[in-house]
Structure 1
Amino acid sequence: MQVRHQTDRPLSDPRSARGTETALAIDAQGLGKRFGTLQALRDFSLVLRPGEALGLIGTNGAGKSTVLKLLQGLRSPDSGGGRIFGHPLGSHAAKQLVGITPQNADFPEQITPRELLGYAAGHFTRPKPMAELIAAFGLDRLIDRRMGGFSGGEKRRVALALAFVGNPSLVFLDEPTSGLDTVGQDLFRAYARAYADAGGSLLLTSHHWDEIEQVCDRIVMIDRGRQILEGTLRDIRRRAGRCRVSFALAEDAGRPAWLTRDFLLEAGRWQKVTADSDALVRFVLRELPDLRALQVTPLDLKDTIAELREEATA
């Protein structure tokens, strides 16, 4: 994937008038944060360019939420600092350029999405058109209903629309599709990718690997408060360079000792992950002439990152 820079943005885009074209969307260096005896974040640095979508990944408790809170200005770092489009973290100028979707959102029961979005839009000079938000997040049947009876997924759609209502230059998305059905997930991913293609910047956390692949240009992995992995998805796959070789055998076929020792049997197929799939394929074809349905597939993103994380933390 190619990183999309702000210079690719159409001249008519209202964000081009904000003077943010030449500044990094996020430039944070050496962030540290302690909660009591817990060092939640240590010497963490992150750069996000205009027009780039970045996935911040890591296990629960790795420090992702702490990073987001510091970058959003909801907490102050104990060490280090950063800027949003050249403005200090937490400053009024920085907040005016940012849209946020938290993991949990609760709304007054008697208000409708149209009223809520209209109220929020009134705080911005160039908000997104209501019709665009309704279409982007599938709110047509919800827009004039009181939110007291909304499901978690329906509230999530409204929360996502709120993140974009001000036509922000940068959006923070914490598990954006949590609780959404498949249709809602597809709508969000298409809109988020189009937003980045048009020059917007995204920082999202997600446990959905297909979401990371569809939306993000680059990922940063955090583990125990430290950055352990960073790169574009293409570079990360290249660094791993591993494939899964799998095949099936006839039920009455012999099973040599090396097969049961070096391969795993899952769902009737023998498989092994290797950095040299060509050599492995030549070997099994020579040794097992009766094998069936031979497949060589690159590791998916989840497995690739698991391999690199194991190397990084060893």
Structure 2
Amino acid sequence: MTVLARATEVSRRYGDVLALDRVSLDIRAGELVGLLGPNGAGKSTLINLFVGLRRPTSGTVELLGGSPQDPLVRQGIGVTPQETGLPEALRVGEIVDFVSAHYPHRADKGELLERFGLQDLVKRQIGGLSGGQRRRLAVALAFAGEPRVVFLDEPTTGLDVEARRALWDGVRSFHEQGGTIVLTSHYLEEIEALARRVIVVGHGRVLADDTVTAIRDVVGTRRVSLTAAELPELPGVLGSEREDGRVHLLTADPDRLVVELVRSGTPFSGLEIRPTSLEEAFLAITSKETADV
């Protein structure tokens, strides 16, 4: 598959802070890539390097076969940063026209607004939009120039559930038509819902890079849930919590745990064993990395 963006041994420093530490990765045509990581992990720095807003301290970054610093190259991408400011006096339709005019190829305005649920707001002044409507507009503008690859940095921050799902539909629609998307998010269910490939970033490094299923498997843990008044000390328990009368145990060896539970004679019911969620995998990966540093 064609590589649209590439980072090779990229490091980025801000004074004494090492934001990225020798990161190498490729973004290929047709991918929907999710970047996960805690605050300060280096996700936004990586996006900024790819879109030409920052330069690497060392290493190289390529975009669409050229340099991210080249304005002509950047005409092939769309970007929504974490924070955007739009002229409040302009109407929604006017700002779409204004942004689209900067690109040689333009998305159909009506289709673009409909994709992100903004078709009824075309004559509304931006100053009269809600925070969620402004955010959806900011994301829609990233698709105005029919880009080959779109970078979305925390695209659904501040949106309610309904607005987030509407935005997800717009992102999926672009991807299903062959578009390439890289997005960062703190909402782990968002990555599970959208991404086909997940890159976990922590301490400025890539900790994991694979499918959602494979990320879970990297951790190698299972979640054992059951109802019990009390539990004895059981082998191999990596973490536990009690919620709504049920006990949830994380373990790398669920078979052994259940055997020892039965042998103990402890009464229990409603036993369930399932793979870890992406959230549990993410926490385990970052916790392990912190312990190894």
TM-score normalised over the length of structure 1: 0.85
Contact 1:97-1:169 within 8 A present in 2 as well: yes
Q: Which residue of 1 aligns with 2:186?
A: 207
Contact 2:241-2:249 within 8 A present in 1 as well: no
List runs of 5+ in structure 2 lacking aligned partners.
none
Cα deviation code 1:227-254 (max 9, x no counterpart):
22222212212222321112113x5xxx
Write the letter of the residue equivalent to 2:250: V
2:261 maps to 1:301: no
2:218 maps to 1:239: yes
Q: Which residue of 2 aligns with 1:8?
A: none
Q: How far apart are 1:306 and its partner, in Å?
A: 1.5
Q: Which residue of 2 aligns with 1:108?
A: 87
Contact 2:207-2:285 within 8 A present in 1 as well: no
Q: Which residue of 1 aligns with 2:268?
A: 291
Q: Which residue of 1 aligns with 2:103?
A: 124
Measured in 2, the distance between the counterparts of 1:25 and 1:167 equals 15
TM-score normalised over the length of structure 2: 0.91
Q: How far apart are 1:102 and its partner, in Å?
A: 1.0
Query: How do 1:132-211 residues align onto structure 2 when only pairs under 5 Å count?
Result: 132-211=111-190
Q: Which residue of 2 aligns with 1:277?
A: 254
Of the three residues 258, 262, 285, the one matched with 2:233 is 258
Contact 2:231-2:266 within 8 A present in 1 as well: no
Measured in 1, the distance between the counterparts of 2:182 and 2:231 equals 50
Measured in 2, the distance between the counterparts of 1:92 and 1:261 equals 55
List runs of 5+ in structure 1 lacking aligned partners.
6-22
* Matched residue SS, 1:196: helix
Q: Which residue of 2 aligns with 1:312?
A: 289
Write the letter of the residue equivalent to 1:160: V
Q: How far apart are 1:280 and its partner, in Å?
A: 2.2
Q: How far apart are 1:285 and its partner, in Å?
A: 3.3
Q: How far apart are 1:286 and its partner, in Å?
A: 4.0
Write the letter of the residue equivalent to 1:292: S
Give the count of matched residue pairs: 289
Q: How far apart are 1:126 and its partner, in Å?
A: 2.7
2:63 maps to 1:84: yes
Measured in 1, the distance between the counterparts of 2:106 and 2:80 equals 16
Q: Which residue of 2 aligns with 1:38?
A: 17
Query: How do 1:21-32 residues align onto structure 2 when only pairs under 5 Å count?
Result: 23-32=2-11
Measured in 1, the distance between the counterparts of 2:63 and 2:241 equals 50
* Matched residue SS, 2:98: helix
Between the aligned residues of both structures, percent identity stands at 35
Measured in 1, the distance between the counterparts of 2:130 and 2:90 equals 15
Q: Which residue of 2 aligns with 1:15?
A: none
Change in 2 beyond 3 A, CA 1:123/1:273: same
Write the letter of the residue equivalent to 2:149: L
Measured in 1, the distance between the counterparts of 2:128 and 2:40 equals 32
Greater Cα shift, 230-239 or 110-119:
230-239
Contact 1:53-1:217 within 8 A present in 2 as well: yes
Kindly report the root-mean-square deviation, in angstroms, between the aligned alpha carbons of the 2 structures.
Answer: 2.1
Contact 1:113-1:142 within 8 A present in 2 as well: yes
2:46 maps to 1:70: no
Q: How far apart are 1:218 and its partner, in Å?
A: 1.2
Write the letter of the residue equivalent to 1:266: R
Change in 2 beyond 3 A, CA 1:79/1:256: closer
Cα deviation code 1:270-301 (max 9, x no counterpart):
33211222332233234346312112122110
Measured in 2, the distance between the counterparts of 1:312 and 1:270 equals 27
Contact 2:91-2:125 within 8 A present in 1 as well: yes
Q: Which residue of 2 aligns with 1:11?
A: none
Write the letter of the residue equivalent to 1:258: E
